[in-house]
C-alpha cells in the first residue's frame, strides 16, 4: 500500500531562539529559547521519526536505507540528502557561511556542503536579514573581518512574510531578530561563524567560537546574489509558485482552497503545512493535516489530493541530490 510518511519534529535549543515554534506551530518546545524545529531530517544531529503507518517508530534515516525504492534511491550508503527546518530568530543569528561539498568532504568527511534557502513565514515590522557582503576582493574581505568593520562589510535586506531567498554555499548570511523562516537545505550541520555580536553564551559563560580561517576560505568574493524570479501557475483550487529550481533542491509554495489533485513529478516530495488545515487523500485513504505537520510523499505515491484551506511549502530533490 502506498502511504505518506508523517514525521515528528526534533526541537533544538539555541541562544537566539524564542517561543514562536510553540506559539505559531504548536510544537512542544523544550525551553523559552528554542530556535529550530527539524521537521524533515535524516541527519544524525536530529533524525525525524515516522508517525503512524507501516513504518511507525522508524527514523527517516532507517527508512531511507532499508526501503530505497520509496525514494528511487540507488545508493544506500549515502545519507538522506535534504533537511527542512523552521527557525525562530528571536535574536540575530550569528553571521556565518557554509562550505560546498568539496570543501566539506576535505575538511570534515561525512558532512555535505550546505546550500540552503529561506521562505519567510513571519517577520516583525523592522526585521532584516544579513545577506552577502560588500568586499570586492579577497584581500578586502579579509581586512574588513580582521578590523571587525561589520557595518562596512555586511549587507542587510529588509524582509516581509512571503519573501524567499536562495542561499548557495559560500554566501555570508544570517537571519535577523524577529524573523520566522522555513529553511530547505542540504543535509548538513556544518557552519563557519564569522561574527556573533560579541554575545556570551549563558550556558558556558564564554563567547561562541568563530571559524574565521574556514570562513575566509569558502566565502564567495565578490558577492553575486542568485535570486530566481518566482513563477506561479493556477489549476483548479490550487496555486503553485516555483520559488527555486536548483541543483540540490526545488522549492514550491502551494496553496489549496478546495479539492485539488496532484501527480508525481519527482522521486519524492517533502511537504510542510505552514498555514491552515485540511485533508490529504492517498490511495483512497484520508489523512487530516494541519499547520505544523510535515510529511513525505514517497516514490510509490503516484497521485494525491488535498482539500481544505492550506498553504504548504513543498520541495523535491534536485539533480545533485538524486
Q: 173 among the known binding-site residues?
A: yes
Establish whether 116 is an annotated binding residue.
Answer: yes
pTM above 0.85, yes or no: yes
Q: What angle do CA 150, 201, 109 make, to 5 degrees?
A: 80
Q: Which grid cell is 146?
A: 580582521
Angle (CA) 159 164 166, round 5°: 115
Are 237 and 256 in contact by the 8 Å Cβ rule? The answer is: yes
Q: Is 98 annotated as a binding residue?
A: yes
Terminal C-alpha separation, the chain: 24
Active-site residue, selected from the candidate residues 193, 208, 220, 253: 193
What is the grid cell recorded at 207?
563567547
**Three-class secondary structure assignment of 268-301:** CEEEEEEEEEEEEEECCEEEEEECCCEEEECCCC
Q: What is the pLDDT at residue 20? A: 99
Look over the chain and give the mean of its residue pLDDT values, rounded to a whole number: 98
pLDDT band at 281 (very low <50, low <70, confident <90, very high): very high
Tens of pLDDT, residues 70-109:
999 999 999 999 999 999 999 999 999 999 999 999 999 9
**Model confidence at 15: pLDDT above 90:** yes
Looking at residue 1, what is its pLDDT?
A: 84
pLDDT over 70, % of the chain: 100
193 counts as catalytic: yes
Domains of the chain: 5-218 (2.60.120.10), 231-321 (2.60.120.10)
Per-residue pLDDT reduced to its tens digit, 290-315: 999 999 999 999 999 999 999 999 99
d(CA 62, CA 115): 24
pLDDT tens track for 138-156: 999 999 999 999 999 999 9
Amino acid at each position: 500500500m502506498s502511504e505518506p510518511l508523517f514525521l515528528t519534529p526534533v526541537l533544538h535549543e539555541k541562544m537566539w531562539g524564542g517561543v514562536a515554534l510553540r506559539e505559531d506551530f504548536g510544537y512542544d518546545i523544550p525551553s523559552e529559547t528554542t530556535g529550530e524545529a527539524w521537521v524533515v531530517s535524516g541527519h544524525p544531529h536530529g533524525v525525524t521519526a515516522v508517525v503512524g503507518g507501516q513504518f511507525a517508530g522508524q527514523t527517516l534515516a532507517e527508512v531511507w536505507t532499508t526501503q530505497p525504492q520509496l525514494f528511487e534511491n540507488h545508493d544506500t550508503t549515502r545519507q538522506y540528502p535534504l533537511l527542512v527546518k523552521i527557525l525562530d530568530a528571536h535574536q540575530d543569528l550569528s553571521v556565518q557561511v557554509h562550505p560546498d561539498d568539496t570543501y566539506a568532504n576535505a575538511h570534515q568527511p561525512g558532512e555535505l556542503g550546505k546550500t540552503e534557502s529561506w521562505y519567510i513565514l513571519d517577520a516583525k515590522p523592522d526585521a532584516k536579514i544579513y545577506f552577502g557582503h560588500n568586499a570586492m576582493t579577497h584581500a578586502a574581505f579579509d581586512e574588513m573581518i580582521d578590523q571587525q568593520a561589520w557595518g562596512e562589510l555586511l549587507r542587510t535586506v529588509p524582509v516581509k512574510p512571503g519573501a524567499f531567498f536562495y542561499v548557495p554555499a559560500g554566501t555570508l548570511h544570517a537571519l535577523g531578530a524577529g524573523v520566522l523562516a522555513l529553511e530547505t537545505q542540504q543535509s548538513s550541520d556544518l557552519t563557519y561563524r564569522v561574527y556573533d555580536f560579541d554575545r556570551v553564551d549563558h550556558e558556558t559563560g564564554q563567547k561562541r567560537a568563530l571559524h574565521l580561517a574556514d570562513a575566509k576560505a569558502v566565502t564567495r568574493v565578490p558577492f553575486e546574489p542568485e535570486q530566481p524570479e518566482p513563477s506561479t501557475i493556477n489549476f483548479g483550487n490550487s496555486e503553485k509558485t516555483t520559488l527555486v529550481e536548483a541543483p540540490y533542491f526545488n522549492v514550491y509554495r502551494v496553496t489549496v482552497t478546495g479539492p485539488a489533485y496532484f501527480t508525481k513529478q519527482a522521486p519524492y516530495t517533502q511537504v510542510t503545512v505552514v498555514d491552515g488545515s485540511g485533508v490529504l487523500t492517498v490511495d483512497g485513504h484520508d489523512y487530516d493535516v494541519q499547520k505544523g505537520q510535515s510529511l513525505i510523499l514517497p516514490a510509490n505515491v503516484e497521485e494525491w489530493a488535498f482539500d481544505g484551506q492550506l498553504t504548504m511549502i513543498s520541495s523535491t530533490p534536485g539533480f545533485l541530490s538524486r
